[in-house]
Amino acid sequence: MGSTSAQTNEGLGRRDLIKRSAAIGLISVPTMGFLSACASSDSGGNGKVEKGTKSDKNPLGVNESAPLDFVLFDGGFGQQYAKDAIKVYETNYPKATVKFTPTQKITTTLQPRFNGGTPPDLIDNSGAEQMDMGVLVGQKQLADLTPLLDAPSIDDPSKKVRDTLRPGIVEMGQFDGEQCWILNYAYTVYGVWYSQKLLDSLDAKYPETWDEMLAVCEKAKKKGIAAWTYAGKHPYYVPFSLYPMIGKVGGREVLDAIDNLEPKAWEHPAVKACFEAYYELVQKGYILKGTPGLDHIQSQTAWTEGKALFIPNGSWVENEAAKTMPADFGLAVSGPTGLDASDKMPFGTIWAAGGEPFIVPAKAKNAEGGMEQLRIMLSEASSKNFTQSVKSLTALNGGTDGIELSPGLKSGVAALEKAGQNVVNPRLQDWYVALQKEKIGVAGIGEMMAGRATPAETIKKIQKFADEAAKDSSIKHYKH
Amino acid sequence: MKTTDTTPAGVENPGSPAGPGPVITKTKAPAPRKEPKGEGATLNVFSHGILILWAIMVVMPLLWAVMTSFKTDRAIFTSPWSLPDRLHFENWSRAWTEAHMSDYFLNTLLVVGCSLIGTLLFGSMAAYVLARFEFPGNRFIYFLFIGGMSFPIILALVPLFYVMQNMALLNTLHGLILVYIAYSLPFTVFFLTAFFRTLPTSVAEAAFVDGASHTRTFFQVMLPMAKPGLISVGIFNFLGQWNQYLLPTVLNTEPERKVLSQGLVQLAVSQGYKGDWSGLFAGLVMAMLPVLAAYVIFQRQVVAGLTAGAVK
Amino acid sequence: MQHGKYRFIVGFLAAPLALYALFVIWPFIQSIYYSFTDWTGLSPEFGMIGFGNYSRMLDDEIFWKSLQHSLTFAVVLPLVTVGLALFFAFMLNVGGRRRKGAAVAGVRGSSFYKIVYFFPQVLSIAIVALLFQFAYNPNSGAINSVLKGVGLGSVQPDWLGDPDLALICVMVVLVWSTVGFFVVLFSAGMASIPRDFYEAALLDGANRFTTFFRITLPLLWDTVQSGWIYMGILALGAESFAVVQIMTVGPSGGGPDYSTIVLPLYVYQKAFRDGQAAYATTIGVALLLVTLAFAAVVMKLGRRERLEF
C-alpha cells in the first residue's frame, strides 16, 4: 500500500504545476492511512490526556483540566438536556471546557474524525445517519463502558451505576462478551398508541383479543373513522406492535429465533397468524385511505386529528406530535392485542427498550471525561430534567418520583407496570438495520400493509431476506 | 407536421405536479392578454395558454411556501390549503434567531461572492484555452474537467477532508472558497467552452494581428464578448454555491463560520424530529427571497448582455 | 509565436488545473483506490481485497435495480426537460406576434415568464423535495385535493406509496425544478442568433415551426447538446439523489420495494448507513462509468459541423 501511494505521487509530481502543493498536502494522506494501519497495535495511545487522580468525587479519575469533546445528535430530544448536563460537568470540573457540537449529520461529521483517529470523547450516535454499531464494535473503535458501570452512582455512592439502570440496558450495550459498548440513555415504550377520548366516544375499551379488535374497528368504521394508520413511508413502524404481538402469541423463543436469523424462523405458525390478522385489517378496509403514501409526521397528524384510532409507534410520539395534538386528546399506549386465550404470553406484554445510544470512542483523548459526563446524565436530577422536558423515560430505573408526568408518559409507565416481567425486546433493528428497515419493513411488511402482497408471499419474501443476511459475510452476526 | 415533435412535450406535463390549487392563483395574474389578431392568432392563444399554465404551476408551490410560513404547525397539517388565521411572524423570528440566519447570511455572502469571482476567472481562462487552441492533451484536459461533473461528491469527502486538514484549510472560509471554486470548475469549463466556440473567430484574429498578446486579446476582446455566457454561468454557479451543503457540512463545522444552507438543512432535518414546519418554511422563504431578488436584478443584466452580444 | 502560444496555454491552465487536481481529482483517485479495499469508513484500518467488491456488485440485485432506474432517468429526463425547455424558449423569444416591423418577437411578457420560470432554481433541491411531499400526500395533499375538487374523488392514488407511480412522481419533480434553468440557457442562445436569419426565412414564407427546425435548432445545437448532457448528469447524480432520499418511502428513500432506488442513493446508503464505504466507492465507480458513457454517447450522436456566422 505504501509503495502504491508513493508511485502515485511520483506520477503526479512530474506534472510540475502541482508539484509544490502535492508535496505539502497530499503525500501525507495515504501514508497516514498506512501508518495508522500498521500502528494499530500501538494501542492508539498517542494524544490521550493524562488521567487525573481518583477520588470519591472523581471515581473515574477524570483529568480535571482536560477539555471534553461532545457530539450530540440533535433530533427529537433536542439539545437542551445535554447542555444542562454539560453545565453540571463544568461546575464539577471548573478548569475543563466542554466543546459541544449538536448535529443531525452524525456520519458525515464524524466519519473523517474516526478515520483520522481523532474522534470526540462522547457521541450520541442516533438519527438517520447513525453510524453502524456492529461495524464500530467489530473494528474496535469503541471504548468499553465497564468502568462507568462499576463507578458509584451520583445519587447513592453505595450503589454502582449498573445497578441503577433499567433491566435490559446493559445487555443492549453488549454484542458478544461481557464488555458494554453502548449506553442507551432514553427508554422507549413501543406499542399501539391511541386517544382515550376517541376510544371512549366509541363506547369501547382497548381490545384484548383479535375478535374484540375487529369489533372496535367495525365500530370506528361505522362512525367514519379509520381504525388504523401507520407511517406508510416508513412501514418499519408496524413492527412496534406486530413483533410484540408475535411474542405474545408464540412466546419469546419465536422472536429470539427471528433475531438469530434461524432458518424457517419466519415460518412459525405464530408469525403466520399475526401477519394474517394484520392483513385482515387491510382487507376489511380498516386502514386509513392513503396511508401507504404518508410519512411518520403525516400519519401522526391524521391520527391526532382523529381520522384514525390506532397507530403503532414509540413513546417519542408524544413529543413529536405535540404540535398537532389537542389538549384533551388523552394519549395512551397499550401492549398489542393478542389473538385469543391460547396465546403464550398474557395481555400486557409490551416491547420496551433503550434508545438514543451514547458511545465513547476507543481513541477518544478524554474517555474518562466522556464517561463522567454520562455518569452525570444518569443522575436522578439530570434524568428528571430529561423526562420532564422531552417526555421520555431514561435508562435510570425509577427517576420519575415527584415530577408530574404527561399523559402519554403516565400511560407508558402504567403499561410497563402491567407488563412486569413480560417485556420483550426484539433486536433486529439494532443488529441488522438494513434488513429490518429496508427489507423486512419496506419491501416486506410495507407491501403487505398496502395490500399488494399476501401474508404467505410476504413471509416467503422475508424469510429469503433473512436467509441472505445470515449468509452475507459482509455483515457481522449476533446471537441471543 | 413537425409540430408533433415539440408541442406534445409541452402539453404532456402540466397535468401532473403541484396541481394548481384554487387558493392564490389570482394574486399573480400574468401580463394582460391582448386581443390576438391576424395570422397565428390561435397559435398565440395556445402558446400563451401553455406558458401561463406552467407559470402557475411554478409559482403556486412557492406562494404556498410563503403562505405556510405564516401559519401554525397545526394549521399546516390540518388545513394546508387555507389562508393563515393571522400572520404568525413569530415563525420568522424563531427561524431568524434559532437558525442564526443573520450570521450565516454574512458568511454565505462572503464565501459565495469570492468563489464566484474565482470560478468565473479560472473557468473562463481554462475554457478559452480549451475552446480556441489546439495542443496535445487538449481533449484529455477537457474531459478531465467534464468528468468531474459526473462523480458523486460524497465519495470524495473523506480524502478531501485530509487534503484540507494537511493544508490547514479546514474550518476556514478561504479554504471553503477554494473548494467551491474547484467543484464549480467542471460545469463552468463545460459551459464556457461551448460558449467560446460559438463566438466568431474573426475578432480575436484581428486583435491578434494588430499586435495584442494572447493575454490581452483574452481580457480586452474575448472576455467582454463572452459577457452573456459569463453572466449565465455566473448565475448557475451562484445558485449552486448558495445551495451547496454537503461540502460545508464536512469541511466547515465551526458554528460561527457556518453558511446559510447548513442552517437551512439543520432546520429541514430537525422538522422531522421536532415538527417545526412553520419555522422551516419561514427559514426557507428567508433564504429564498434574496436569491430571488438577485436573480430579478441580474435578469436585466442578462438581457442587456445578450443584446450587446446580438449587435456585434 | 508558437512558443508564445504554449506559454499562454500553460499560463492560463496552470491555476485552474492545479486547483482542480488538488481538490477534485486527487480525492477521487484516492476513493477509487478504496474500492479495492474492505474499508468500512468508520476506522482507519483496512486491507486490500482486489476485485472482491466488484464481483459482489455484479451479483447484487439491488445494484442492478438502481442501475436500471438511473438509466431510465438518464434517458427520459433530458428528453422531457430539454424538449419542454426548447418549446418554452422558442415561444418566449421567437413565438410572439410580429410587431412594428420586427421580423420576430417574443411573446408579450416574455421577460416576466423568464423570471417566473426560473423560480424553482433558486430553491435548493432539498427544499423542493420537501414542498412536493406536501403535494403528494395522499390524505390531504394538493393533488388529491384537486382531484377531489373536480369530482374525481374515486381517483386518489397513493403517489409515492405506489411502486408503479413513485418513480414517475420523482421524475416530475426533477422536471419541474430544472426546466427553468434550460429555458434561460436556451433563451441566451436564441437571442444571439442574428435576426436577419429569421427575416430571410420569413420572406421565403416559412412558418414558425419550419423556422424552429431549420434555423433555431441547428444554430442552437451546441447549447442543446450541452444542456442534454448536463441534464443527464444531474439525473444520474446529485439531484436525483436528494429528491429520492427525501421524498420516497423507506429509511433513507428508495422504496416502496426498491421501486425508486437510484445509484447515487445506493452509494450513500452503503457508505453512510451500512458502514461499507469501500463497497460504496465501487458502486460510485460504476456510476462514474455510466455517466461518462452517457456523455460520450450524446456527444457522438450529436456531432455536427461547427457553424460559424
Query: What is the count of residue pairs from A and C with beta carbons less than 8 Å apart?
Result: 170
Q: To 5 degrees, how large is the angle CA C143–CA C149–CA C150? A: 100
Q: What is the pLDDT of residue B289?
A: 80
List the single residue in B265, B270, B275 with the smallest CB-CB distance to A323: B275
pLDDT at C267 over 70: yes
Q: What is the pLDDT of residue C305?
A: 46
- Which chain B residue has the Cα nearest residue C239? B152
Q: What is the pLDDT of residue B307?
A: 41
CATH at B276: 1.10.3720.10
Average pLDDT value over all residues in chain A: 86
Interface contact flag, B246 A108, Cβ < 8 Å: yes
Interface contact flag, B150 C291, Cβ < 8 Å: yes
* Residue A293 near chain C (CB below 8 Å): yes
Interface contact flag, C15 B191, Cβ < 8 Å: no
Interface contact flag, C31 B81, Cβ < 8 Å: no
Asked if residues A73 and A106 have their Cβ atoms less than 8 Å apart, the reply is yes
List the single residue in C15, C83, C122 with the smallest CB-CB distance to B239: C122
Stronger pLDDT, A143 or B156, i.e. the higher one: A143
Residue among C130, C141, C138 nearest B19 (CA)? C141
Q: Does one domain contain both B23 and B114?
A: no
Q: What is the pLDDT of residue C222?
A: 74
Q: What is the pLDDT of residue A35?
A: 36
- Is residue B74 situated within a structural domain? no
Residue among C63, C84, C128 nearest C270 (CA)? C63
Torsion (CA) A155, A156, A161, A162 in degrees, nearest 10: -130
Interface contact flag, C44 A33, Cβ < 8 Å: yes
Tens digits of per-residue pLDDT, A66-124? Answer: 999 999 998 778 889 999 999 999 999 999 999 998 887 788 788 888 887 889 999 99
Give me the mean pLDDT over the A341-355 stretch: 93
Which of B31, B51, B68 is the last residue in one of the domains? B68
Interface contact flag, A320 B161, Cβ < 8 Å: no
| Lowest-confidence region among A12-21, A342-351, A419-428, C27-36 | A12-21
pLDDT at A245 over 80: yes
Q: Which three cell numbers stand for residue A461?
A: 419474501
Q: Does one domain contain both B61 and B114?
A: no
* Residue A113 near chain C (CB below 8 Å): no
- Is residue B75 situated within a structural domain? no
Q: Return phi, psi of residue C56, to 5°.
A: -65, -40
Interface with chain C: mutation pick from A126, A228, A442, highest number of C CBs within 10 Å? A442
Q: Does one domain contain both B100 and B241?
A: yes
Tens digits of per-residue pLDDT, A148-184? Answer: 999 999 999 999 999 999 988 998 898 878 899 999 9
Q: Which three cell numbers stand for residue A171?
A: 445487555
What is the DSSP annotation of A284-305?
A: TT-BPTTGGG--HHHHHHHHHT
Q: Is the peptide bond before C256 cis (omega within 30 degrees of 0)?
A: yes
Number of neighbouring beta carbons within 10 Å of residue A89: 19
Q: To 5 degrees, how large is the angle CA A39–CA A41–CA A46? A: 60
Q: What is the pLDDT of residue A183?
A: 95
Tens digits of per-residue pLDDT, A406-431? Answer: 999 999 999 999 998 899 999 888 88
Q: What is the pLDDT of residue C95?
A: 67
Q: Does one domain contain both B103 and B202?
A: yes
| Lowest-confidence region among A111-125, A453-467, B63-77 | B63-77
Q: Which three cell numbers stand for residue B91?
A: 415563525
* Residue C33 near chain B (CB below 8 Å): no
Give whole-number Cα distances, A259 to A168, A255, B286, in Å.
Answer: 16, 6, 48
CA A195 distance to own-chain centroid = 25
Asked if residues C163 and C170 have their Cβ atoms less than 8 Å apart, the reply is no
Q: Which three cell numbers stand for residue B145?
A: 474537467
Q: Where are the domains of chain A?
A: 68-188+353-419, 190-350+423-471
* Residue B79 near chain A (CB below 8 Å): no
* Residue A215 near chain C (CB below 8 Å): no
Is B196 exposed, middle or buried, given 0-12, 13-18 or 19+ CB atoms closer than 10 A?
buried
Contacts of C138 in chain A (CB under 8 A): 289-294
Q: To 5 degrees, how large is the angle CA A422–CA A355–CA A433? A: 95
Tens digits of per-residue pLDDT, C147-165? Answer: 888 877 777 888 888 888 9
Q: Return phi, psi of residue A403, to 5°.
A: -115, 150
3 state SS of A412: helix
Q: Does one domain contain both B57 and B203?
A: no
> Letter for the amino acid at A243?
Y
Number of neighbouring beta carbons within 10 Å of residue B302: 22
Q: Return phi, psi of residue A73, to 5°.
A: -75, 120
Q: Tell me the nearest-neighbour CA distance from C214 into chain B, angstroms.
A: 11
Tens digits of per-residue pLDDT, B173-191? Answer: 999 999 999 999 998 998 8
State the Cα–Cα distance between residues A56 and A65, nearest whole angstrom. 18
Q: Does one domain contain both B64 and B108?
A: no
Architecture of the domain made up of A190-350+423-471: 3-Layer(aba) Sandwich (3.40)
Question: Above pLDDT 70, what percent of chain B?
Answer: 77
Q: Does one domain contain both B306 and B205?
A: yes
Q: Does one domain contain both B58 and B122?
A: no
Is B103 exposed, middle or buried, given 0-12, 13-18 or 19+ CB atoms closer than 10 A?
middle
Using pLDDT thresholds of 50, 70 and 90, give the confidence band for residue B308: very low
The structural domain count of chain B equals 2
* Residue B149 near chain C (CB below 8 Å): yes
pLDDT at B202 over 60: yes
Domains of chain C (ranges, CATH numbers): 60-301 (1.10.3720.10)
Asked if residues C31 and B148 have their Cβ atoms less than 8 Å apart, the reply is no
Give whole-number Cα distances, C67 to A164, A380, C170, C262, C284, in Å.
Answer: 51, 53, 16, 7, 11
Q: Return phi, psi of residue A331, to 5°.
A: -60, 135
pLDDT at B127 over 60: yes
Residue among C281, C299, C185, C19 nearest B186 (CA)? C19
Q: Which region, left, alpha or beta, applies to residue B210 given φ > 0 means left and ψ of -120 to 50 means alpha?
A: alpha
Query: What is the count of residue pairs from B and C with beta carbons less than 8 Å apart?
Result: 309
pLDDT at B18 over 70: no
Contacts of C114 in chain B (CB under 8 A): 299
Using pLDDT thresholds of 50, 70 and 90, give the confidence band for residue A12: very low
3 state SS of C169: helix
State the Cα–Cα distance between residues B149 and C292, nearest whole angstrom. 10
What's the pTM? 0.78
CATH 3.40.50.720 fits domain A68-188+353-419 = no
Interface of C with B in 161-190 (CB under 8 A): 168, 172-173, 175-176, 179-181, 184-185, 187-189
Tens digits of per-residue pLDDT, B216-269? Answer: 888 888 888 888 788 878 877 887 788 777 788 778 877 778 887 777 766 666
Greatest alpha-carbon span in chain C: 76
Q: Does one domain contain both B50 and B99?
A: no
Q: What is the pLDDT of residue A449?
A: 95
Tens digits of per-residue pLDDT, A353-382? Answer: 998 999 999 999 999 999 999 999 999 999
Residue among A150, A186, A87, A231 nearest A399 (CA)? A186
Q: What is the pLDDT of residue C50?
A: 87
Tens digits of per-residue pLDDT, C41-93? Answer: 787 778 888 898 999 999 999 999 999 999 999 999 999 999 999 988 888 87
Using pLDDT thresholds of 50, 70 and 90, give the confidence band for residue C103: low
Interface of B with A in 119-178 (CB under 8 A): 157-159, 161-163, 165-167
* Residue B158 near chain C (CB below 8 Å): yes
- Is residue B81 situated within a structural domain? no
Using pLDDT thresholds of 50, 70 and 90, give the confidence band for residue B29: very low
- Which chain B residue has the Cα nearest residue A326? B74
Using pLDDT thresholds of 50, 70 and 90, give the confidence band for residue B43: low
Q: What is the pLDDT of residue C40?
A: 83
- Which chain A residue has the Cα nearest residue B161? A112
Q: What is the pLDDT of residue C128?
A: 83
Q: Tell me the nearest-neighbour CA distance from C48 into chain A, angstroms.
A: 8
Average pLDDT value over all residues in chain B: 75
Q: What is the pLDDT of residue A125?
A: 92
| Lowest-confidence region among A432-436, B59-63, B151-155, C239-243 | B151-155
Q: What is the pLDDT of residue A28?
A: 35
Q: In the complex, which subunits touch C with 3 or more CB pairs below 8 angstroms?
A: A, B
Q: What is the pLDDT of residue A7?
A: 33
Q: What is the pLDDT of residue B270?
A: 62
Q: What is the pLDDT of residue A367?
A: 94
Q: Does one domain contain both B99 and B53?
A: no
Asked if residues C27 and B159 have their Cβ atoms less than 8 Å apart, the reply is yes
Asked if residues A469 and A263 have their Cβ atoms less than 8 Å apart, the reply is no
Q: Does one domain contain both B20 and B55?
A: yes
Q: Which three cell numbers stand for residue A311?
A: 397507530
Q: Domain limits at B102?
A: 95-311
Domains A68-188+353-419 and A190-350+423-471 share a fold: yes
| Bridging pattern class, strands A423-424 and A350-359 | parallel
Average pLDDT value over all residues in chain C: 82
- Is residue B48 situated within a structural domain? yes
Give me the mean pLDDT over the A332-347 stretch: 94
pLDDT at B113 over 60: yes
State the Cα–Cα distance between residues C157 and B65, nearest whole angstrom. 24
Asked if residues A190 and A353 have their Cβ atoms less than 8 Å apart, the reply is yes
Interface contact flag, B159 C15, Cβ < 8 Å: no
**CB < 8 Å & 24+ apart, contacts of C265-268:** C265/C66, C265/C240, C265/C241, C266/C62, C266/C63, C266/C66, C267/B152, C267/B154, C267/B155, C268/B154, C268/C241
Asked if residues C197 and C203 have their Cβ atoms less than 8 Å apart, the reply is no
Q: Does one domain contain both B114 and B208?
A: yes
